[in-house]
Each structure stands twice: as structure tokens, then as C-alpha cells.
């Protein structure tokens, strides 16, 4: 019996060793991949003024608590001192908040306001900005391992002496813009956003003040998002792209890469006009030939609202929405994924 018990014990030990070896030979379980949890959050609106609507929009921006705000031009309008506008902004958002400026036609030439004075009382607060603040500049956010390059331009509006800045093809400002986009792509910055006061595509009152050549270049370079003011409405295009059947942008199906609210990066460009920053709201022109371009809109004759565009980017996704000021109900949202 003792011999049998000894044999059984030896067999059990052998089996345990075999099991242990088998366990040791298995590869360690794969660790979950770490994801980049960083994000950049900003708001953008133009055509503000200093009335109650402007204050309501600033209150909403404060509530959203972005990292910075892009003003898309047209600030205090005529007969209102620049300092009054600046005091309204800093009173709502604080003196240290990055309320970043771009000239609009009401202050670019100094006749109804002076962009230089606005830039003095609301100076740049984003580190690493390159270019001429409030006219033509870009910045990477954040500075280290940036997620987005924001490029701000001033085509189609008069500056001192009544002359527009030259953004024609091959001009110095064209080359500067092209380089800002190309170098962002070369640096593998995930997202590129361009801001301009004047839109090109619109179902409001204006034509392509930004210029067809420059607009086509932004589309061909596949800038992810273009933000505009000038029109006192909200309007958002479908994702637009050039192709074999669409050499230059025209309001037809072949120029639209995607038409829903969930978009893929690299397929085209979305143009958003955020001109409901507080000034009087204007109507949508439902008879405009460019209406097929558009996916969403708000104006005085259709779901009127004041508010701001709210943008959040991570390494893999851009989420854009229109957030109305208190008392309004219109909303819109879309996303672009990598």
C-alpha cells in the first residue's frame, strides 16, 4: 500500500509540473493599447455687436468653458468705442481668457472701428502664434504634440486705404496659406481648421467674397473645417470635394463627398458660417442656387437663433455643433472621424 501511495504521489506531482509548465509557456495577456486622451475645445462666432444678444452669446461661451474662442470678424460696429466691446468681453469671460480676433469688414479699414485698437485691448493669448494677429495668423494647439492647426485669413475685405489683401493664386498671402496647410499635414497634425470673415458658399445675401480660387485651394488641400462670419445666419455645407467629375466647386452632386452628419476625415471639407454672435439675424435665401450644398441652416425666416459653434477635437475625432444662447432652440451637429 505504501508503494502505491508513493506512486500516486509521484504521478500527481508530475501532472502538476506539466500543468505549471503549460501555464508558464503561454504568452502574457496583451495589455490594452493606451489611447491619447488629450483634447482641444474651442468656440467660434462672428458678427457680435454690444447688445443683449451679444451678451447672451458670451454667457453661453462662458458656460461651455472652451480653451479659447475665435472671433470671426465684425465686432462692435459703428459709433461704439473699441474699449466698450473689449470691456464687455472681459467682463463676461475674464481678462485672461484667449478671445482670439480676426478682422471683419466693419473694423478692417478703420472707418467703423479699428482692428488695431481691438487687438490692443484683446491681445493674443495663445503661445506660439505665427503671423500677424487679427489679420493673418496660425497657431497649433496644444503647442506640444498638437492636435489641431487653426489658420486665420482675411480675404475679401478692405483694409487701410480701401484695398483688399491679395489672396490671388501665386500671391504672397496665397503661398503663406498654402504653406501653413502643407506644413500642418507634413507635421502630421491631425486636424486643420481655417477661419475667414467672408464665406464663399452661402444661402444668405453675399456672393463669394472670399474668392473662388482660394476656396478651391482649401477644398483641394482637404482642410477639415472652414469657419466664416459675415452672414448673420448659421449655415453648414455638406462635405465638399473636388474629383474627376468636379474639377472646380459647383453646386452639384459630383462635388459632394458625403451628405450626412457622420463624416470621414480626408474625404473633403465642411464650411460653417457662424454669424449669429449677437447682431441682428438675417433671412435664409431658399431660392439660392447654392442651396444643394447645404445640410443645415438657421435664419430670421427659419428657426432663428443666436449662439456659437462649439468644436472639440481629439486625435481621432472632431465634433462640431451649434449651441444656441438661452431662449433659442435651434441646434445642429456633425462629426468627422479618422
**Per the structure, how many domains does the chain have?**
1
pLDDT tens sequence across 178-225: 999 999 999 999 999 999 999 999 999 999 999 999 999 999 999 999
Q: What percent of the chain has pLDDT over 70?
A: 87
- What is 35-94 written as a DSSP string? -----EEEEEE----SSHHHHHHHHHHHHH--SEEEE-S--S-TTS-HHHHHHHHHHHH-
In a domain, 75, yes or no: yes
In a domain, 29, yes or no: no
Bin 136: left if φ > 0, else alpha if -120 < ψ < 50, else beta: beta
Domain boundaries, position 232: 39-337
In a domain, 282, yes or no: yes
Q: What percent of the chain has pLDDT over 90?
A: 83
In a domain, 13, yes or no: no
In a domain, 78, yes or no: yes
pLDDT tens sequence across 295-310: 999 999 999 999 999 9
Going by the DSSP 8-state scheme, the letter that residue 301 receives in this structure is: T
H-helix or E-strand containing 27? Answer: none
Q: What angle do CA 219, 221, 225 make, to 5 degrees?
A: 60
- What rounded mean pLDDT belongs to the chain? 90
Question: b/e per residue, 129-151, with b = 16+ CB within 10 A?
Answer: beeebbbbbbbbbbeeebbbbbb
Per-residue pLDDT of the chain (338 residues; tens, 9 = 90+): 444 444 444 444 444 444 444 444 445 445 444 467 899 999 999 999 999 999 999 999 999 999 999 999 999 998 899 999 999 999 999 999 999 999 999 999 998 999 999 999 999 999 999 999 999 999 999 999 999 999 999 999 999 889 999 999 999 999 999 999 999 999 999 999 999 999 999 999 999 999 999 999 999 999 999 999 999 999 999 999 987 678 676 655 678 999 999 999 999 999 999 999 999 999 999 999 999 999 999 999 999 999 999 999 999 999 999 999 999 999 999 999 99
Q: What is the CATH number of the domain that holds 48?
A: 3.60.21.10
pTM above 0.75, yes or no: yes
Amino acid at each position: 500500500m505504501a508503494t502505491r501511495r508513493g506512486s500516486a504521489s509521484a504521478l500527481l506531482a508530475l501532472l502538476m509540473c506539466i500543468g505549471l509548465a503549460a501555464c508558464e509557456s503561454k504568452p502574457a495577456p496583451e495589455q490594452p493599447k493606451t489611447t491619447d486622451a488629450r483634447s482641444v475645445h474651442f468656440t467660434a462666432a462672428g458678427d457680435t455687436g454690444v447688445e443683449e444678444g451679444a451678451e447672451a452669446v458670451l454667457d453661453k461661451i462662458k458656460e461651455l468653458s472652451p480653451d479659447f474662442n475665435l472671433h470671426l470678424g465684425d465686432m462692435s460696429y459703428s459709433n461704439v468705442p473699441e474699449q466698450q466691446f473689449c470691456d464687455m468681453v472681459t467682463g463676461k469671460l475674464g481678462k485672461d481668457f484667449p478671445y482670439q480676433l480676426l478682422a471683419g469688414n466693419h473694423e478692417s479699414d478703420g472707418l467703423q472701428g479699428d482692428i488695431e485698437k481691438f487687438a490692443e485691448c484683446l491681445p493674443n493669448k495663445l503661445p506660439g502664434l505665427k503671423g500677424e494677429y487679427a489679420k493673418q495668423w496660425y497657431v497649433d494647439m496644444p503647442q506640444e504634440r498638437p492636435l489641431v492647426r487653426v489658420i486665420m485669413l482675411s480675404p475679401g475685405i478692405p483694409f487701410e486705404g480701401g484695398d483688399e489683401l491679395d489672396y490671388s493664386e501665386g500671391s504672397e498671402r496665397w503661398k503663406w496659406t498654402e504653406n501653413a496647410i502643407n506644413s500642418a499635414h507634413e507635421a502630421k497634425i491631425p486636424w486643420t481648421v481655417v477661419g475667414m470673415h467672408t464665406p464663399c458658399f452661402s444661402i444668405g445675401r453675399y456672393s463669394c467674397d472670399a474668392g473662388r480660387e482660394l476656396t478651391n485651394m482649401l477644398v483641394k488641400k482637404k482642410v477639415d473645417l472652414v469657419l466664416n462670419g459675415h452672414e448673420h445666419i448659421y449655415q453648414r455645407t455638406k462635405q465638399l470635394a473636388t474629383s474627376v467629375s468636379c474639377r472646380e466647386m459647383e453646386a452639384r452632386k459630383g462635388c459632394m463627398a458625403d451628405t450626412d452628419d457622420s463624416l470621414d476625415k480626408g474625404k473633403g471639407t465642411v464650411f460653417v458660417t457662424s454669424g449669429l454672435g449677437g447682431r441682428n439675424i438675417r433671412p435664409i435665401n431658399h431660392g439660392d442656387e447654392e442651396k444643394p450644398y447645404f445640410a443645415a441652416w438657421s435664419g430670421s425666416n427659419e428657426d432663428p437663433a443666436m449662439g456659437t459653434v462649439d468644436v472639440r477635437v481629439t486625435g481621432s475625432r472632431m465634433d462640431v455643433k451649434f449651441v444656441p444662447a438661452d431662449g433659442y432652440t435651434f441646434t445642429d451637429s456633425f462629426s468627422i472621424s479618422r
